[in-house]
Amino acid sequence: MLNRDRTGLHPELTVAAVVEQNGRYMLVEEHVSGRLVLNQPAGHVEPGESLVDAVIREALEETAWSFVPEAIVGVYLWGRDGGQNPFLRVAFAGRCIAHDSTRTLDAGIERVVWLSRADLLARSARLRSPMVLRAVDDYERGSRYPMDLFQDLAVEQLTLRAAVL
């Protein structure tokens, strides 16, 4: 029998784009809970959306740049509020290929900024979460996993397989 809730954790599934050019990383300044914070272009995966489609969409909505994911940097579980509301984030490394200067950025996004790791460290109190700097550190360490690490399966396939097992 499958126990669907052993831990009580129900993490929010999110994605993030790690974009580096000449030692600087693309970040967004965004308003969250009355604060102006720094984050990678990131957000929630919508129902029926693949991880890759989600990171491409989020990068475009938050930066007006077309993002091409090339590798997975890491998968991070972070529990805000003492672990009560965890996030599971998949961070993708990639490049930006086109900018749409006429596009309006998502609500709450102030602007795109390019910062070095040292700049991020100096602004660590402004990071939206510890996942931001961790993804940059993992990227700088050369952490790259193949894009096919995650496989998108249709719900029907998952249901059929669970019934067979």
pLDDT at 8: 65
Cβ 18 vs Cβ 139: under 8 Å: yes
pLDDT at 4: 42
Cβ 24 vs Cβ 47: under 8 Å: no
Angstrom distance (rounded) from CA 133 to CA 16:
12
Please name the residue ranges forming H helices in the chain. Answer: 51-63, 80-83, 117-122, 130-140, 155-164
Q: What is the pTM of this model?
A: 0.86
pLDDT at 153: 64
Q: Which two tokens stand for residue 137?
A: 């550190």
Domain positions in the chain are 12-164
Q: Within 13 Å of residue 127, how many CA atoms lie on the same side as its CB?
A: 18
> What kind of fold does domain 12-164 have according to CATH?
Nucleoside Triphosphate Pyrophosphohydrolase (3.90.79)
pLDDT at 162: 46
Q: Which two tokens stand for residue 127?
A: 């990071």
pLDDT at 143: 97
pLDDT at 6: 54
pLDDT at 11: 85
Coil vs helix vs strand at 95 = strand
Please name the residue ranges forming H helices in 64-127. Answer: 80-83, 117-122
Query: Nearest-CA neighbor of 113 among 32, 54, 53, 36?
Result: 36
- pLDDT means per 10 residues, the chain with 165 residues, are 50 95 97 95 93 97 98 91 80 97 95 97 95 97 93 56 48
